[in-house]
Structure 1
Amino acid sequence: MPNKIIPYRKDLKEKARKLRRNPTCTEKILWTKIRKKALGIEFHRQVPILDYIVDFYCHELFLAIEIDGPIHNLQTDKDIKRQKKLEAQGVRFLRFSNEEVFTDITSVLNSIKKFVEETALPGDTPPRPSPGGEGEYPPL
């Protein structure tokens, strides 16, 4: 899948930087588990897309991960509208509550891994190089 760049409002860039510098507790917890390709794919934090900023985003899979705190209980319509606009651009969502991240990070990570495994396309993994450049690949 190509790394499609989705446009964003340039004024959100600085806001995203501030959010990265001041993450919530649950964002810190999840980030320590998914950073540096820990799940085999690269995530970025606080990514501007269109008129919005998503908590975590994987460009390869068009995957946004949102951690919903108590404020989201009051913004249901706003969140639905936001998600629909982003889904129209091909973005897919996984949503978790603060409580899920705090109390059951293993299940959260398993849900993300499952999505990644089900979404990965054949051939996404580059072939292993042949030893000595002879054109033959070692058995897997």
Structure 2
Amino acid sequence: MPRPPRSNPKTRTHAIELRKELTPAERKLWANIRNDKLGINFRRQHAIGNFIPDFVCIEKKLIVELDGSQHLEQVEYDTERTKYFETLGYKVIRFWNNQIMNDINGVIKVIQFALESEDPKR
């Protein structure tokens, strides 16, 4: 039996468009995690269900979200997204854009720690 699609065509198309329009913070983080730089593969703007997380490591079930000022006004939406991802077994970590721009080394350390940490629920 074929595997069900992970998302719908509309969401996948939107993800493709988002990949073309990275924010400065997304661009900076991507430069530090792409091409297995952390020893593991990340995807950017990868559609999962009706949502498109900023970065995802499928193998380790880790999602990295970057938040700008607009996220101050969409806390409920972000909470809903996080809960959905967690129901699929993903761990979600969030960073503010200014953290990426001002302390990329600290952010990378947090991501590396999350990759090394095993979730006791899995």
Q: TM-score, normalised by structure 1?
A: 0.79
Provide the residue aligned with 1:132 in structure 2. none
Q: Name the one with the larger helix percent.
A: 2
Report if the CA contact (8 A) 1:43-1:58 is conserved.
yes
Change (3 A) 1:6 1:118: farther
Deviation of residue 6 (structure 1)? 7.3
Matches for 1:75-86 after TM superposition, within 5 Å = 75-86=74-85
Provide the residue aligned with 1:118 in structure 2. 117
1:46 aligns with 2:45: yes
Gaps of 5+ in 2: none
Report if the CA contact (8 A) 1:6-1:49 is conserved.
no
Provide the residue aligned with 1:95 in structure 2. 94
Q: Distance in 2 between matches of 1:68 and 1:20?
A: 16
**CA displacement, residues 69-96 of structure 1 (integer Å, 9 cap, x when unaligned):** 1110000011101110111111111110
Provide the residue aligned with 2:25 in structure 1. 26
**CA displacement, residues 41-85 of structure 1 (integer Å, 9 cap, x when unaligned):** 000000111110000011101111000011100000111011101
Deviation of residue 116 (structure 1)? 1.3
Report if the CA contact (8 A) 1:6-1:89 is conserved.
no
Deviation of residue 5 (structure 1)? 8.3
Provide the residue aligned with 1:7 in structure 2. 6
Q: Distance in 2 between matches of 1:30 and 1:106?
A: 10
Higher radius of gyration, 1 or 2? 1
Gaps of 5+ in 1: 121-140
Q: Distance in 2 between matches of 1:44 and 1:113?
A: 16
Report if the CA contact (8 A) 2:85-2:92 is conserved.
no
Once superposed, what is the RMSD of the aligned Cα atoms? 1.8
Provide the residue aligned with 2:66 in structure 1. 67
SS at match of 1:54: coil
Report if the CA contact (8 A) 2:62-2:115 is conserved.
no
Letter in 2 for 1:53: I
Q: Distance in 1 between matches of 2:61 and 2:104?
A: 22
Following TM superposition, the consecutive aligned residue runs of length 4 or more in structure 1 with deviations greater than 6 angstroms are none
SS at match of 1:53: coil
